[in-house]
Amino acid sequence: MLTSLKIENYALIKECDISFVSGFSSITGETGAGKSILLGALGLVLGQRADSQVLLDKDKKCIVEAVFTVEDSLKNIFIENDLEYEKESIFRREITPQGKSRAFINDTPVQLAVMKLFAIRLIDIHSQSSTVDLKEKSFQLSLVDDFIEDKNVVNDYKTLYHKYKSLLKTISELEEQEANFLKDKSYYEFLYQELEKANLKEEEQEELEQEVELISNSEEIKQAISSSLFVIDNENEDNILSSLTNVINMLNKVSSHNEELSNLFSRLNSSYIELKDISNELSSFNDNINFNAEQLENDNNRLDLIYNLEKKHNVQTIKELLDIEQQLKEKLSVNNNITEKIQENNILKDKYIKQLKDLSNVIHNNRVASSKEIEKKVKPLLSEMAMKDSELKIEVEKSSELMENGSDSVMFLFNANKTKDNNLKELSKVVSGGELSRLMLAIKAVIAQRFALPTMVFDEIDTGISGDIASKVADIMQNIGKNHQVIVITHLIQMAAKATNQYKVYKHIVDKQTESNICLLTKEQRIEEIAKMLSNDTITKEAIANAKTLLNL
């Protein structure tokens, strides 16, 4: 339960530190005194959104700190989130003037999601808007789900549903990729097959160009080689090799007399050997040169193919063409992989759909059962609040559509008074504000009876209620307070008087600035506060007497 709430620099509250007790407590105060500010501050330590605009002093940070008595049943949640478990756990929220927010549990920094995880297990806050929300079908569905004891199946469904929606998005993206590719698939296949059929080799173009150059000029080359061979080594003795032989023989005779002559002789001898090799290679090269018209045509055709492919793909080398061929091959392969992934994901999608349908059937049955139980238990509570002829029926309709919360739509049908046709209508069309408040309280009381939620806070759930009905509503609050901590923000005298403890929210001026605060009233202060509520702030003897009667004093 909530044992204390400390607030600093929030809205109109400069500083307050208030303790709370178990049982039924009321919070009263004039309109605008700051009762809703307390709920706003409490919401911060429950993980709600922060706003730097709530700072009273814009140069100082805001701190809200709530202490909860935590049951051992929540110890596992502390352990799972690497938090130290304390029977009296401190939840703190800080907002800096720059708008930055920090959250702590037992002085350990936590994410807001963790804070919210605890909040739903520690406290239920019913705001004024929640009563209006009762007319909304989505809120009606959440109330039915609140009554289901086994929450795991609903959580399992939601987890799987989010996976399913994510999978649908993935399939859609893959199908779009495949569709875009299929538009150009035939063209890609043609380009790849054309390159593959060409069977290109990386150095092929250079070799072909050289061979074409050689064959095209073969006659001129042969003539040049023949003339060169005649000069180097003809059958007459006036060729270069013969002359060089004579020179070598002459130097050989004198080379031994001088080292430099010996070196020159060696170099000349090497030149002879090199020239002889050149002569032999020229002769061999000359023998192998032939004008081959067929070969020249084949080479030119091959080069034309290469040149056309290079022009088509806007490149200049065979290497670039081979790179493009590989890219096309990979692209075609990727498309095949996309198709396989789509098929695999569709199989998984069918699996998810079956699992979701199975879970939705279980959820539907649970909702039907919980709806019947809510109908049964709400009726006597409504009778206690002077609505004995009222009737609530909760319709749970199942559809084939898979939605985030299952396949059901929930509709609350209601009739506050007995009619000849006993025709129930949608809740939003048949109830007044007071009737709606009583119905909401009855539903909350039924949920409270079923689940051991430590703390329940009601913000003016008694709107539209007065007189004897207000007293009956207060009796129900007292009954809930036997097993829960119940805190009610109220303007009703009966509600305030029947509470075990009463707090007052008030405004006062400090240094020309309005501030709000809260205090726990003593017995005498309660008598005075109830008397003020009875006599519109004018305390009379009669009002004091009536206040004491209401307080059983």
For 389-413, what is each residue's pLDDT tens digit? 888 999 999 998 999 999 999 999 9
Sort strands 108-110 and 101-105 into parallel, antiparallel or unpaired.
Answer: antiparallel
Selected from 3.40.50.300, 3.40.50.2300, 3.30.420.10, 2.60.40.10, the CATH number assigned to the domain covering 2-149+385-521 reads 3.40.50.300
For 87-119, what is each residue's pLDDT tens digit? 999 999 999 988 889 999 999 999 999 999 888
Across 331-355, average pLDDT:
86
Quick one: pLDDT band at residue 218, thresholds 50, 70, 90? confident
pLDDT at residue 186, as a whole number: 75
pLDDT tops 90 at residue 185: no
Across 21-29, average pLDDT:
92
| Residue range(s) occupied by CATH 3.40.50.300 in the chain | 2-149+385-521
pLDDT tops 90 at residue 40: no
pLDDT tops 90 at residue 348: yes
pLDDT at residue 107, as a whole number: 92
Higher pLDDT, 6 or 534: 6
pLDDT at residue 130, as a whole number: 67
pLDDT at residue 311, as a whole number: 92
Across 233-250, average pLDDT:
83
pLDDT at residue 468, as a whole number: 82
What's the per-residue H, E or C state across 80-118?
Answer: HCCCCCCCEEEEEEEECCCCCEEEEECCEEECHHHHHHH
Tell me the percentage of the chain whose pLDDT exceeds 70.
96
The Cα 439–Cα 394 span in angstroms is 13
Q: Which residues contact 390 (CB under 8 A, 6 or more apart)?
A: 379, 382, 383, 414, 415, 416, 417, 435, 439
pLDDT tops 70 at residue 420: no
Q: Quick count: other Cβ atoms within 10 Å of Cβ 420?
A: 5
For 426-466, what is each residue's pLDDT tens digit? 887 767 777 888 888 888 888 777 766 788 898 877 677 77
Quick one: pLDDT band at residue 488, thresholds 50, 70, 90? very high
pLDDT at residue 291, as a whole number: 75
Structure token digits, residue 143: 């109330």
Quote the mean pLDDT of the chain: 87
pLDDT at residue 526, as a whole number: 94
Higher pLDDT, 36 or 359: 359
pLDDT tops 80 at residue 129: no
Structure token digits, residue 71: 């049951």
Structure token digits, residue 338: 């996309």
pLDDT at residue 102, as a whole number: 93
Cα–Cα distances in angstroms (integers) from residue 531 to residues 82, 463, 549, in the given order = 51, 21, 11
For 266-289, what is each residue's pLDDT tens digit? 999 999 899 999 989 888 888 888
